[in-house]
């Protein structure tokens, strides 16, 4: 069995907050084995509440590179169910090295706080090729904008130097 290492997941868009809003997840890792034609990469969100089900999201691969070279998206079959996204390589084998996969329309309906996902490679026959390997924790918030998030220092019509305050949270995950 090969190895997967350095798994980092960076969430962008609405999934920084909890709710039925889709977001893109950029999964970055290094794979020692090749990914054969017909082989799959399986991404599993390890915390209940992430939903990739087709009824709730139209999960898609936005971009996939291996060692900086784009993988033709026409050779990538995507399926999703529950907390798993499976990417099947229907083209030529992919070399060992650094993979960066951007998966769109993932919904985080109920989970705030640190989360992880796991990555595994499977052969065309479904046997484990590498992994599962967990990502470093990524954080989501209970809400991108909290209730009562905006205030005015004065709401008098003739007031000057009025301060408008917007409270929000954000999470920054820096790619390597």
Q: Output phi, psi for 5, to 5 deg.
A: -145, 165
- Contacts with 8 (C-beta within 8 Å, 6 or more apart), sequence order: 27, 28, 29, 135, 136, 173, 175, 176
- First and final CA of the chain: distance in angstroms? 26
Tokens for 17, please give them.
């907050």
Residue 172 has pLDDT above 60, yes or no: no
Tokens for 64, please give them.
């996939």
> Hey, is 152 helix, strand or coil?
strand
The pLDDT tens digits of the residues spanning 27-62 come to 999 999 889 999 999 999 887 777 777 545 567 787
Residue 48 DSSP code: B
Q: Is there a contact between 79 and 102 (Cβ–Cβ < 8 Å)?
A: no
* Residue 155, pLDDT score: 57
Give the rounded percent of residues in the chain with a pLDDT score beyond 90.
30
Beta-sheet strand order (sheet of 40-45): 76-81, 84-89, 40-45, 117-122, 128-134
Smallest Cα–Cα separation from 87: which of 105, 61, 106? 61
Between 57-61, 64-68, 165-169, 171-175, the lowest mean confidence (pLDDT) is in 171-175
Tokens for 75, please give them.
């050779």
The pLDDT tens digits of the residues spanning 67-83 come to 999 888 777 888 888 88
């Amino acid at each position: 069995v090969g190895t997967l290492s350095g798994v980092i997941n960076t969430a962008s868009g609405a999934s920084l907050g909890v709710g039925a809003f889709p977001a893109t997840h950029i999964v970055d890792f290094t794979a020692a084995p090749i990914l054969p034609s017909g082989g799959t990469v399986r991404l599993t969100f390890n915390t209940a509440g992430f939903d990739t089900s087709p009824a709730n999201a139209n999960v898609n691969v936005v971009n996939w590179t291996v060692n900086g070279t784009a993988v033709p998206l026409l050779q990538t079959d995507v399926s999703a169910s529950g907390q798993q996204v499976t990417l099947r390589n229907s083209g030529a084998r992919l070399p060992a090295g650094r993979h960066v996969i951007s998966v769109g329309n993932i919904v985080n309906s109920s989970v705030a706080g640190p989360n992880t996902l796991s990555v595994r490679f499977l052969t065309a026959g479904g046997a484990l090729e590498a992994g599962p390997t967990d990502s470093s924790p990524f954080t989501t918030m209970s809400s991108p904008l909290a209730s009562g998030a905006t205030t005015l220092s004065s709401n008098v019509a003739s007031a000057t130097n009025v301060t408008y305050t917007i409270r929000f949270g954000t999470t920054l995950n820096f790619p390597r």
